[in-house]
Amino acid sequence: MAIQTDRSDRTPQEYELLTGGGAESAELEHKGLSRRQFLRRAVGVTIGIVGVEATAGALYMLYPNLKGQFGSVIPLKNKSLYPGAQQKEFALDEKGMFYESAAKSYIMHLLPGGSTTFLLNGTDLQNGFVAENWVVDSDGSYWLALYQVCVHLGCKVPFRDDCNSFKCPCHGSHYNIDGEYLDGPAPRSLDRFAMSFDKSGVVQVDTGKLNQRVERPDVSTRILNVPGITCSAS
């Protein structure tokens, strides 16, 4: 991941190659071009086209089809294999939070009710979900795909069961279970990928679509209650 540290893994840009050449005889006459001048220009255009084709071939070799690789849509496991949990009951790779190395992501599956406390409601909450890439499933549970990279200086940030949150071991940046900024030097909340489910219920993470625009929340934008646990650096 999207990262910018680790940003070299992101989906390569598509290259659009535009070429052209030739001229109508009327245009030649209008511009007063001699046959010799025309031929010279035609040779130049041909050389240019050959160069463009060679460049395109080299780019194709350097940036092959990324289907199924980081930088594309990566299918993971069926959502039934990611059991959800309420906010204070997360346990890494057991319930609520799961790490997926292929997508370089943490998959959050949050259940409503109990210890799950939303600080927003109504339109404000729905707008927050959209802005921060939350997915609301048909059963009323909530999902996120959080990029593993700390937005401060690019360290891999672990989820800490003892803190019920993410805590970067490098410089102490601290994030809630939904990736929202809590404290530390990070300039914003964790980045997150677009995610969805296919028809059979398989979780799909689009690692080519990285949301890097989730700012530090304030009282008007923070979605989840803060964990309220002192989290040491180690």
How many CB atoms are closer than 10 A to CB 134?
19
In this structure, are residues 161 and 171 in contact, taking their beta carbons and an 8 Å threshold?
no
Q: Give pLDDT, residue 232.
A: 84
Asked whether the predicted pLDDT for residue 195 surpasses 90, the reply is yes
3-state secondary structure of 45: helix
In this structure, are residues 91 and 82 in contact, taking their beta carbons and an 8 Å threshold?
no
Q: Give pLDDT, residue 1.
A: 41
| Predicted confidence band of residue 27 (pLDDT cuts 50, 70, 90) | very low
How many CB atoms are closer than 10 A to CB 180?
23
Q: Where are the domains of the chain?
A: 73-211
> What is the chain's mean pLDDT, rounded?
82
Q: Give pLDDT, residue 99.
A: 98
Q: Note the pLDDT tens digit of each residue in 44-70.
A: 655 655 555 555 555 445 445 566 688
pTM over 0.85: no
At the topology level, CATH places domain 73-211 in Rieske Iron-sulfur Protein (2.102.10)
Q: Give pLDDT, residue 71.
A: 87
Question: Tokens standing for 51?
Answer: 């160069």
Name, in order, each residue with C-beta under 8 angstroms of 187's C-beta and a sequence gap of 6 or more.
151, 152, 216
Q: Note the pLDDT tens digit of each residue in 126-175.
A: 999 999 999 999 999 999 999 999 999 999 999 999 999 999 999 999 99
Name the residue among 171, 203, 205 with its Cα closest to residue 191: 205
